[in-house]
Amino acid sequence: MTAPATGTVPATVPRRGIVVPTIAAAAAFAVLLSLGSWQLERKAWKEGLIATLAQRLQAPPVPLPAAAQWSRLSAADDEFRRVTATAEFLHDRQAVVYTLGSSMRDDGAAGSPGYWIFTPARLADGAIVMVNRGFVPEAKRDPATRPDGDVKGPVKLTGVLRWPEPGGVFTPAADAARKMWFSRDSDAIAAAAGVTAAPFYVELEGPEPPGGLPRTGRLQPVLPNNHLGYAMTWFGLAAVLAAVYGAWLVGARRKDPA
C-alpha cells in the first residue's frame, strides 16, 4: 500500500468553503446599499414635495379655472393650489366619508372618528365641482342633526384643489345606499350622486357655516420625513455585515491557512 501524501490539502476544499458565503455576503451587501441609496432618493423627493406644498398652501387663492380648462389641470402641477369660487351646494346629494381626521388640517379633528362631508356644488356657469366641506363627529353624520350648516343659496368659497383618492385593496366597500364611503374618491361619490363633476374636488377652508359644522380648516404641509434615518439604518446594517464577514474570513483563514 502506498502511504497518503502528507502536508498537502486540495486547494478546492477551502475555496469551496469561502466562495459561497462570500457570494451571499456580497449580494446582501449590495441590497443593503441599494436600499440606503433609495431612501436618500426618497428623502430628496419628500423635501421637494414639502417645499411645493408649503409654497402652494401659503400662496393667495386664485379664481377656480373655468370648466373648459379642467382637462388641462393635473395633480402634479395643480394639487394643493388655493382657489376661490362662488357656488351653490346641492345638499340633498351630499355623502359622508369615514375618517379619523387629518394631521394636515388645523381643525383639531386629527385622530377623532367622524366623517368628511362631500357635497356637489353648482358654479355660476352650471358646472359641478365636489367639495369636501369639512369634518363632523360621528354623532353628527345625519344632516338633520346639523341643519344650520347646510347653507342655502350661492356662497363664496375658498379652498384647495385635491384629486380623487380611490380606495385600496383593504378599503371597505362603499355603502352607496347610505351615502357612506371610506375613501375620498370624489369621482365615485359624484357618480353615485348622479352628477358629472370636475376631475378634482375642493377641500374647503372657509367660510365656516353657521353652527360650526361641518368644521373647516386650513391645510398645513405636515408630512413626516424620516428617510435619512432609514438610510442610515440600511447603511449601518451594510457596515455591520461587512465587519461580520471580515471577522469570519479572518477566523476561517486561521483555521485553515491553505
The mean per-residue pLDDT over the stretch 162-169 comes to: 92
Alpha-carbon span 186 to 200, nearest angstrom = 7
Q: What pLDDT, on a 0 to 100 scale, did the predictor assign at position 13? A: 44
Pair 240, 187 in one domain: no
* Grid coordinates of 246: 471580515
Q: What pLDDT, on a 0 to 100 scale, did the predictor assign at position 2? A: 53
Pair 65, 192 in one domain: yes
| pTM of the predicted structure, to 2 decimals | 0.74
The mean per-residue pLDDT over the stretch 177-189 comes to: 95
| Domain extent for 73 | 59-212
Q: Which residue in the block uniquely carries the three cell numbers 394636515?
A: 104
Question: What band does 111 get if pLDDT is binned at 50, 70 and 90?
Answer: low
Q: How many domains does the chain have?
A: 2
Task: Respond yes or no on whether the N-terminal peptide bond of residue 207 is cis (omega within 30° of 0).
Answer: yes
Pair 147, 176 in one domain: yes
Q: Looking at the predicted structure, is the pLDDT value of residue 10 above 60?
A: no
The mean per-residue pLDDT over the stretch 101-128 comes to: 84
Alpha-carbon span 26 to 45, nearest angstrom = 29
Pair 102, 171 in one domain: yes
Let me know if residue 10 belongs to a domain: no
Pair 74, 121 in one domain: yes
Nearest residue to 67 via CA among 146, 134, 128: 128
Q: What angle do CA 54, 201, 43 make, to 5 degrees?
A: 35
Q: What angle do CA 104, 108, 111 make, to 5 degrees?
A: 75
Alpha-carbon span 91 to 149, nearest angstrom = 10
Pair 31, 150 in one domain: no
Residue spans of alpha helices (H) in the chain:
12-58, 75-78, 186-193, 227-255
Q: What pLDDT, on a 0 to 100 scale, did the predictor assign at position 81? A: 96
Q: Looking at the predicted structure, is the pLDDT value of residue 3 above 60?
A: no
Pair 26, 63 in one domain: no
Q: Which residue in the block uniquely carries the three cell numbers 375618517?
A: 99
Burial 88-120 (b: 16+ CB within 10 A, else e): ebebebbbbbbbebbebbebebeeeebbbbbbb
Q: What is the pLDDT of residues 127-145, one digit of tens each?
A: 999 999 999 999 999 999 9
Q: What pLDDT, on a 0 to 100 scale, did the predictor assign at position 68? A: 95
Q: What is the pLDDT of residues 50-107, one digit of tens each?
A: 888 888 999 999 999 999 999 999 999 999 999 999 999 999 999 999 998 776 776 6
Q: What is the pLDDT of residues 42-62, one digit of tens each?
A: 999 888 888 888 889 999 999
Q: What pLDDT, on a 0 to 100 scale, did the predictor assign at position 11? A: 47
Mean pLDDT of the chain, nearest integer: 89
Alpha-carbon span 127 to 190, nearest angstrom = 13
Instruction: Choose between 239 and 15: higher pLDDT.
Output: 239
Let me know if residue 139 belongs to a domain: yes
Pair 145, 30 in one domain: no
